[in-house]
């Protein structure tokens, strides 16, 4: 804490991992040697830079840009870029730290990183977003490369922003090598990448329920958020026979007891992605209940999928979900559940999956996009979806292996942390101290 004052999110993420790793490290003391833990909580490199750009009124704007290159122990730094006014060093360090273990869990050769800016794309014109993305890459390009650091999207960074950044990257490096994933299909993107995080989260929830001799079919589900992850989590839930009854954004929640239909989802995607509108507009279109300033967690459901942002499900929310009979909570977002809420779920015996396991499908398909680019091949939807499904099953099995408890229950927090840690730690030990 003394070394990283004012970094509460980073502290929270490190504490969560170290708490669950500690008993394992005591049993396997080689992992406390060579300063391994001290090295693992320190990013290999953290870059902060100025981004100056000109808005549509001709006014010069200045934002702050970051790239945290956390660990390259098992492959090039890999992780998304986030554009949101809340972005700071603490949030990106927590995300890069988590990303390192998540990427290890996918079994693909990717290290961990994360980056972004306090730039808020909301209310900006396409031309402003383009000039901002280009200004960002004018600085960041020197730190990126297909075997060095490969960014992607995250909150506020979708296909539009990735396209602008990848375009400037190509221009400055005079190379068409793949240094972004989540690209458009016409310039090296992978089918199923937009769907991957949401689909993967639901595949993982289905595996957890299967392990507990249940299934999503016929269950009610609450989803928070209405962005990329939320949209495709809703779609996959519907395909597997579950009923999704909530969706939200940073202003409020929509409650729809009848549940989503493909037509409603299409309308939501249009409002969010094309019109860049609010879920309130969606509620109005279908005459649904809208509660301003509320979260979805007071609504009774069997399964909760937090898919918006960090610390959006706190202690009181967890208590409400448990009281209303929730059976399974799988995180689509990164660290959406506060530490005390996680403890409460575990204590109550709820099936709970941390994001580093359940939302790893996005980066897994990013890894598959890199493989396709390197081979100059393009796989079909079905091929990519099958690989994604297989990876999510593998991650689940690995969690069961490392987090299985007497009586057949699984602690997915311990399982994910230990499985991810062992892979990164072994690689670090074998490569020596540097
Ligand atoms: P988007 O920008 O597409 O959507 C974010 C959603 O979360 C929006 O509905 C947004 O609402 C809502 N949101 C953002 N901040 C808050 C807040 N403070 N309170 C309530 N709601 C909020 O991002 P993604 O869907 O890509 O990302 C969502 C989460 O999933 C993030 O935690 C991200 O790190 C994680 N993730 C994403 C992956 C990906 O592949 N995209 C991969 C793995 C994890 P509003 O429109 O009002 O801002």
Which pLDDT belongs to residue 133? 98
Residue 46 has pLDDT above 80, yes or no: yes
Q: With 0-12 CB in 10 A as exposed, 13-18 as middle and 19+ as buried, what is 356? A: buried
Contacts of residue 55, defined as CB under 8 A and 6 or more positions apart, other chains included, come to 61, 124, 128
pLDDT confidence band for 407 (50 / 70 / 90)? confident
Span 278-296, average pLDDT = 98
> How do residues 323-365 score in pLDDT, each as one tens digit?
999 999 999 999 999 999 999 999 999 999 999 999 999 999 9
Cβ pair 106, 367 in contact under 8 A: yes
Cβ pair 248, 309 in contact under 8 A: no
Which pLDDT belongs to residue 1? 67
CA distance 360 to 95: 13
114 labelled catalytic: yes
Instruction: Identify the H or E element spanning 38.
Output: helix 36-40
The response to whether residue 364 sits with its C-beta less than 6 Å from ligand 1 reads: no
Which pLDDT belongs to residue 3? 81
Q: Which atom of ligand 1 is nearest to the CA of 310?
A: 32
User: Looking at 1, 59, 114, 356, which residue is catalytic?
Assistant: 114
- The strand pair at 252-255 and 112-117 is best described as unpaired
> How do residues 66-114 score in pLDDT, each as one tens digit?
999 999 999 999 999 999 999 999 999 999 999 999 999 999 999 999 9
Which pLDDT belongs to residue 161? 97
pLDDT confidence band for 40 (50 / 70 / 90)? very high
Span 194-213, average pLDDT = 98
> How do residues 142-158 score in pLDDT, each as one tens digit?
999 999 999 999 999 99
Q: Which atom of ligand 1 is nearest to the CA of 355?
A: 44
Span 183-193, average pLDDT = 97
Helix 381-403 × helix 412-431 angle, to 10° = 100
The response to whether residue 200 sits with its C-beta less than 6 Å from ligand 1 reads: no
Q: Which residue's CA is minimally distant from atom 35 of ligand 1?
A: 333
What is the maximum span of the chain, computed from C-alpha positions, in angstroms? 66
* 197 among annotated binding-site residues: yes
Token pair of 340 as six digits: 């005390």
Which pLDDT belongs to residue 4? 84
Cβ pair 78, 99 in contact under 8 A: yes
> How do residues 355-406 score in pLDDT, each as one tens digit?
999 999 999 999 999 999 999 999 999 999 999 999 999 999 999 999 999 9
The 3-class SS string of 335-403 reads CCECHHHHHHHHHCCCEEECHHHHCCHHHHHHHHHHHHHHHCCCCCHHHHHHHHHHHHHHHHHHHHHHH
Residue 2 has pLDDT above 80, yes or no: no
pTM: 0.96
């Amino acid at each position: 804490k003394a070394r990283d004052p004012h970094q509460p999110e980073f502290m929270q993420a490190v504490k969560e991992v170290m708490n669950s790793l500690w008993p394992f490290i005591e049993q396997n003391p080689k992992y406390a040697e060579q300063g391994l833990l001290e090295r693992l909580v320190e990013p290999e490199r953290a870059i902060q830079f100025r981004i100056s750009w000109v808005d549509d009124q001709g006014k010069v704007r200045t934002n702050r840009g970051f790239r945290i290159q956390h660990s390259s122990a098992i492959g090039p730094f890999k992780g998304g870029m986030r554009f949101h006014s809340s972005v700071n060093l603490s949030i990106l360090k927590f995300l890069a730290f988590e990303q390192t273990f998540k990427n290890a869990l996918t079994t693909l050769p990717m290290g961990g990183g994360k980056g972004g800016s306090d730039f808020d794309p909301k209310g900006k014109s396409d031309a402003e977003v383009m000039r901002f993305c280009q200004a960002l890459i004018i600085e960041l390009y020197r730190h990126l490369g297909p075997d060095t650091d490969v960014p992607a999207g995250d909150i506020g960074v979708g296909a539009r922003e990735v396209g602008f950044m990848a375009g400037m990257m190509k221009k400055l490096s005079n190379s068409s090598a793949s240094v972004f994933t989540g690209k458009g299909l016409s310039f090296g993107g992978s089918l199923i990448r937009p769907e991957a995080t949401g689909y993967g989260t639901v595949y993982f929830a289905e595996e957890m329920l299967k392990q507990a001799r249940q299934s999503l079919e016929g269950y009610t589900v609450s989803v928070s958020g209405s962005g990329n992850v939320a949209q495709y989590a809703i779609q996959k839930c519907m395909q597997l026979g579950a009923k999704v009854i909530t969706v939200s954004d940073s202003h409020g929640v929509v409650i729809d007891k009848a549940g989503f239909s493909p037509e409603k989802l299409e309308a939501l995607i249009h409002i969010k992605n094309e019109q860049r509108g609010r879920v309130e507009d969606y509620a109005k279109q279908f005459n649904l209940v809208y509660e301003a300033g509320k979260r979805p967690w007071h609504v009774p459901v069997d399964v909760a999928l937090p898919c918006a942002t960090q610390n959006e499900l706190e202690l009181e929310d967890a208590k409400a979900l448990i009281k209303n009979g929730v059976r399974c909570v799988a995180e689509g977002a990164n660290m959406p559940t506060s530490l005390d809420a996680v403890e409460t779920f575990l204590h109550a015996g709820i099936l709970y999956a941390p994001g580093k396991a359940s939302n790893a499908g996005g980066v897994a398909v990013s890894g598959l996009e890199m493989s396709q680019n390197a081979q100059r091949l393009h796989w079909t939807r079905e091929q990519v979806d099958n690989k994604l499904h297989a990876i999510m099953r593998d991650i689940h099995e690995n969690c069961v292996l490392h987090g299985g408890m007497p009586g057949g229950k699984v602690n997915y927090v311990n399982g994910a942390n230990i499985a991810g840690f062992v892979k990164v730690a072994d690689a670090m030990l074998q490569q020596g101290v540097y």
